[in-house]
Structure 1
Amino acid sequence: MDEPVKPQVIRRVGALLRAIAAAPTAGASTSDVARAAGLARPTAHRLLSSLAEEGLVDRDQKSGLWSLGPELYLLGSQAAGRYDITDLARDILRDLARETGESAFLSARRGDETVCVASEEGSFPLRSHVLHIGIRLPLGVASAGLVILSHLPDREIDEYLGRHELTAAWGSEHSTDGIRERIDATRLTGYCVNPGLLVEGSWGMGAAVFDAADQPAWALSLTGVESRFPETRRHELGELLLRQAHRLTQRLRRGR
């Protein structure tokens, strides 16, 4: 008789894989992965060892650091045809970066988080380094997560905010009231503004990209230093983001 799989184990495995994915290129130690996943070190080590046997993670024999394994690459390549839109978005990111001088990003919604999946550096010499490919942030945090959350139905927003208390990790500006105020502002314009709430002086703006079911599944965003986002320019940048987000949405619906 097959042994039943406990949902808790699946959640722990997912947390471990995400923790390794967010680590530097060289990999992460067992202690660091356990801490990021919220697990005891012996539990993390036991699960990681089992994942290594399946090729889902790999461990450097010299450094002892964990990295994602070759089997995940093979599985990911199979899923890419359905979920990876970076090829369709590449020229749009280049256009955004060229027209604005700011760094442009594409983020995808993954449950209650966004993950940055592609980027294009702008020409302006001073840059914000808050975002990078692979970084995961909760919905409502940073411009991509805020604009996606803002376009969800009210019921889903209420449920999300009921599940998560963000101030401990992200500061008092990410209280429920603060997030709701920014959602209201985003719904008025269609685009969102993050006025340096993650790192002082580092601003961002975002616009949602919708899937075939008209759900906000991705976001385009621009980031840069505060001096590049005066009030007189924010409307211009917001309108540009909305146009390019609509362009990508239409391209996705055509399938090319």
Structure 2
Amino acid sequence: MVSPSKGPDVISRVGVLLRAVGAAEPDGASTTELARAGDLTRPTTHRVLSSLLREGLIDRDEQTGVWHLGPELYLLGASAAARYDISHHARVVISELARESGESAFLTARRGWETVCLLREDGSFPLRSHVLHEGIRFPLGVASAGLVVLAHLPDRDVDRYLDEHDLSRVWGASHRKDALLGRIAKTRDLGYSTNPGLVVEGSWGMGAAVFDRAGSPAWALSLTGVESRFRAARRPELGGLLLDQAHRLTRLIA
């Protein structure tokens, strides 16, 4: 646990807790769960959360005691949307991906060394994967969106990230540095990534990077579904569809 006197500064604590509350939506999270997620003591967590509640940045269900994102964050987000929101371009692309593939289609954004799911639209196939939902975060290198974003970063950034983050501690041996480097090389060769059930067994995903005006991989489009829908014979078709729509969205943003 991080003690109040030796822990990160208050701004870092606020950021950690806000992201943890966001990741818990729509169900919300208890004080104990948020303390664990932020590696903070429970009293420190409750004190920071209470301050955020007074500012309207988070809300609390009086009956259950769980914490949710607050109304002030919605208003701030609406103000920031003009600069950061690409959903008006992406919704059409996501809809076409879902319709043409029959799978669940997603838009994910890179945020630092994480990815955050922003949009989801389900296709016509009745069996679906529920690993991804709006607001969920994964480290770069985890899931198809995080893998394709990481693969399109410069080698020096990839090496530094993998040296500083041991993903295998949480995500298993398939996320050791050597295993990830192998999947990164394959992703660079094909242009799109494949997650063969490494987050949840039987739930497969594929992703393609979307680039900002500076040419950096800032977003990803992805498709997820059950393993039987991602057989080897079909993956090139899905990969080509993802790449076409990712290029299209990149051009729309530019």
Give the structure-2-normalised TM-score.
0.95
1:168 CA displacement: 1.4
Match of 1:3 in 2: none
- Tell me how far 1:74 sits from its aligned partner: 1.0
One-letter code of the match for 1:88?
H
Segment of structure 1 superposing worse, 145-154 or 76-85? 76-85
Q: Any unmatched runs of 5+ in structure 1?
A: 1-5
Match of 2:211 in 1: 210
Match of 1:93 in 2: 94
- Cα distance per residue 1:23-64 (max 9 Å; x no partner): 142422111111111111011001111111211112222322
Structure 2: which amino acid aligns with 1:251?
L
Alignment pair present for 1:75 and 2:76: yes
Bigger Cα displacement from structure 2, 9-18 vs 101-110: 9-18
- Give ranges in structure 2 of 5+ residues lacking alignment: 1-6
Show the 5 A alignment for 1:76-155: 76-155=77-156
Q: Which amino acid aligns with 2:49?
A: L
Aligned-partner SS, 1:232 = coil
2-structure distance, mates of 1:8, 1:151: 32
Look up the match of 1:223. 224
Structure-2 separation of matches of 1:120 and 1:25: 17
Distance 1:74 1:152 in 2: 33
After TM superposition, the structure 1 = structure 2 runs for residues 32-51 of structure 1, keeping only pairs within 5 Å, are 32-51=33-52
**Separation in structure 2 between the aligned mates of residue 48 and residue 181 of structure 1, nearest angstrom:** 42
1:189-247 superposed Cα distances (whole Å, 9 cap, x missing partner)? 11011111111111100000000000000000000111111111111111110000000
The runs of 4+ residues in structure 1 deviating greater than 3 Å are none
* Pair 252,24 (structure 1): closer, same or farther in 2 beyond 3 Å: closer
What is the percentage of aligned positions where both structures have the same residue? 66
**C-alpha distance in structure 1 between counterparts of 2:203 and 2:64, whole Å:** 35
Q: How many residues align?
A: 248
Larger CA deviation: 84-93 vs 19-28: 19-28
CA distance in 2, matches of 1:123, 1:59: 37
Distance 1:27 1:229 in 2: 33
Instruction: Give 1:247's aligned residue.
Output: 248
| Structure 2 Cα separation of the partners of residues 26 and 167 of structure 1 | 27
How far does the alpha carbon of each residue in 1:131-185 deviate from its partner, in whole angstroms, 9 at most, with x for none?
1111000000000000000000011111111221111111110000111000000
Partner of 2:234, secondary structure, is: helix
Match of 1:199 in 2: 200
Q: Does 1:55 align with 2:56?
A: yes
C-alpha distance in structure 2 between counterparts of 1:87 and 1:143, whole Å: 23
Give the Cα–Cα distance (whole angstroms) in 2 for the partners of residues 25 and 251 of structure 1.
31
Equivalent residues of 2:53, 2:60 under 8 A apart: yes
- Code of the residue aligned with 1:13 in structure 2: it is V
Q: Which amino acid aligns with 2:79?
A: Q
In structure 1, C-alpha distance between the alignment counterparts of 2:64 and 2:128, rounded to whole Å: 33
Tell me the equivalent position of 1:179. Answer: 180
The AA in structure 2 aligned to 1:174 is: H
The match for 1:10 is 11
